[in-house]
Structure 1
Amino acid sequence: MSPAPPPPLAQAIGEQEFRAFSTWLHREAGIHLGEQKKALVAGRLASRLRHHGLQRFGEYYELLHSPRHAPERQIALDLLTTNETSFFREPRHFDFLRERIVPAHAGGKPLRVWSAACSSGEEPYSIALVLCSTLGDRPWEVLASDLSSRVLERARQARYPMARAGQIPTALLHAHCLKGTGRHEGQFAVAPEAASRVRFQQVNLNGPLPALGEFELILLRNVMIYFDASTKQAVLDRVLACLRPGGHLLIGHSESLAGLRTGLRPVAPAIYLKP
């Protein structure tokens, strides 16, 4: 006999349950969830309720705070913080990297770039493809960080569905990507000369940062839209401490630094210079 299916959810997520998860996520990751996110929370966590044979979201919230279920907290964080991304998203930023950052970089020291909310890796690999084509074997490195351990594990594989190859400029795709064969047919991989220069690390921007060193360029794109004003300021203070004088910060085109203390000078849409 096959095992009985888990019981269906008894109800949708309640207001009090949603507030509990919202408060927990803000405390852990600095992310603010508005009322319009109730369906998102319920949809992303429903599979975990079924996994544990639970019927109510309140039961799952209690399970998250049980010491013997500590690993479940990372799973829930991964589910609630993973965002969509793509190769060469907001392409003018990559033009700026190629046309302004690389030519201005003095030789000797490595050109260091930080993708501070890298999700499943498309952003840092886009950076690496540009640097591989412009700097080649000269010293450069990309740090890619995210709160989600699940997306970092996926990103480390450097392998993506072939449908996403169309997001990559043709010259870079042909020069620094490999078409999958055999069991990897229908996929492509970022070639080792680019992928090996990307280092992935789990980092929570909502807390003290590990020793990361200084960077010439930091991409903090499409993540601050989830923070309230005080969290934005705290995250920016931490991140900008890692940006060397003369370095640049890139944010998403839908984001704004208005009302925040940064000491930065705008040089182009969503591009800022640290004097």
Structure 2
Amino acid sequence: MSFRSDISAFALHRIRDFVHRTAGIVIGPDKTALVTGRLWRRLAICGLPSYDAYVDFIARPEGAQERSIMLDLLTTNETYFFREPAHFDFLRNEIIPQHGNGTLRVWCAAASTGEEPYSLAMVLADCVGNRWDMLATDISSAVIAQARKGVYRAERLNHMPADYLKRFCRRGIGEYEGMLVVVPSLREQVNFDLHNLLNTRPDSEQFDVIFLRNVLIYFDNPTKQRVLANVLRALRPGGWLILGHCESLQGLQVPVDTLRPSIYRKPAMDRRAFTRIAS
């Protein structure tokens, strides 16, 4: 079956609308090449002649699995180990010494294929031994499955400190020949879970540190506000929130104190509770 590789304005609008409603992510009208570049193979796999037929298919009940695949393809972003290294230095030099001797609970809220949570895990294992636990989440089931394996091309580890590479990675064998694998002891301590940031986490979960890096840039302001409210609900009073260097909270109502650009701290007492007590 032949198919049309171009996409109509209506089909593009329906895809953008679905991604925004489902994941909160804004795909701009200038991202036509990104959409078609990531989805054109799916038309052939599904045996569909055009993008209009494709969006009709994913709107039907029998298209549920394909909807999930499409969402994975359009929301997965490239990353690498120890991206934006100043944040890992802040964790090592500021957060960990201030935390004390208890278990440090960390949520990596945009885990992607695992490079960020494993980078955090290496710093934690180096500095506090086993006195930490981590939740790493993403909306994409495909990248979560990949992250759990902990297998990476060597070039993805170019920014990793040499001693960490020696301590926490092994050369792959068999089907993973030519790859590097995160050691099992580290992989087993990171709990990967599927999670949509438009939803809240269970009330019983409270974290000391939340990394929410390089994801807010894909949201419009109302969605940013909603995501941050959900995330901060899971951050204990006095906990730290880390955003990406290109992100800010300007124009948003967020009850945190700015320590430095992209690094924030939740007040030790919730401000709304303080207002109620004061009145």
> Normalising by the residue count of structure 2, what TM-score does the alignment of the two structures yield?
0.92
Tell me if 1:265 matches 2:257: yes
Q: Structure 2: how far apart are the matches of 1:182 and 1:60?
A: 38
Per the TM alignment, residue 22 of structure 1 is displaced from its structure 2 partner at its CA by: 0.8
Q: Which residue of 1 aligns with 2:44?
A: 50
Of the candidates 62, 65, 84, which is equivalent to residue 59 of structure 2? Answer: 65
**Contact preservation (8 Å) 1:132, 1:193:** no
**Secondary structure of the corresponding residue to residue 81 of structure 2:** coil
Map of 2:185 onto structure 1: 193
- Structure 2 CA distance for aligned equivalents of residues 40 and 203 of structure 1: 24
The residue correspondences of 1:196-211 to structure 2 (distance < 5 A) are: 196-211=188-203
Query: Aligned match of 2:142 in 144, 150, 153?
Result: 150
Moved more, 251-260 or 157-166: 157-166
Q: Which amino acid aligns with 2:69?
A: I
Structure 1 segment 1-40 matched on structure 2, within 5 A: 6-7=1-2, 9-40=3-34
Q: In structure 1, what residue type is equivalent to 2:50?
A: R
Which 4+ residue blocks in structure 1 deviate beyond 4 angstroms?
Answer: none
Residues 148-205 of structure 1 deviation map (CA, whole Å, 9 limit, x = unaligned): 0000000000111122232211111112211223442211111123221101000001
1:101 alignment partner in structure 2: 95
SS in 1 for 2:208: strand
- TM-score w.r.t. the length of structure 1 is 0.93
SS for the counterpart of 2:31 is helix
SS of the counterpart of 1:12? coil
Shift of residue 217, structure 1, vs aligned partner: 0.6
Q: CA RMSD in A?
A: 1.3
Query: Residue 35 of structure 1: SS of its match in structure 2?
Result: coil
Distance 2:34 2:83 in 1: 23
Residues 105-142 of structure 1 deviation map (CA, whole Å, 9 limit, x = unaligned): 1223x2111110110000000000001111113x2111
Q: How many residues align?
A: 267
Which has the higher mean CA deviation after the structures are superposed, 186-195 or 73-82? 186-195
- Could you tell me how far apart the structure 2 residues matched to 1:89 and 1:13 are? 35
**Alignment correspondent of 2:164:** 172
Q: Which of 78, 85, 104 matches 2:79?
A: 85
Q: Distance in 1 between matches of 2:141 and 2:61?
A: 20
SS in structure 2 of the partner of residue 189 of structure 1:
strand
C-alpha deviation, 1:66, in angstroms? 1.3
Which residue matches 1:3?
A: none
Deviations along 1:53-83, one digit per CA (max 9) or x if unpaired, are 1121111111101112211111111011001
* Identical-residue share of aligned pairs (%): 47
Show structure 2 runs of 5+ residues with no match.
268-279
Deviation digits for residues 11-48 of structure 1 (CA, Å, limit 9, x no counterpart): 41111111111111110000111111111111111111
Q: Which residue of 1 aligns with 2:114?
A: 121
Q: CA deviation at 1:258?
A: 0.2
Residue aligning to 2:275 = none
74-83 vs 178-187, which deviates more?
178-187
Quick one: distance in 2 between partners of 1:126 and 1:85? Answer: 12
2:105 counterpart (109, 112, 131): 112
The answer for the alignment partner of 2:272 in structure 1 is none
**Which ranges in structure 1 are unaligned for 5 or more consecutive residues?**
1-5
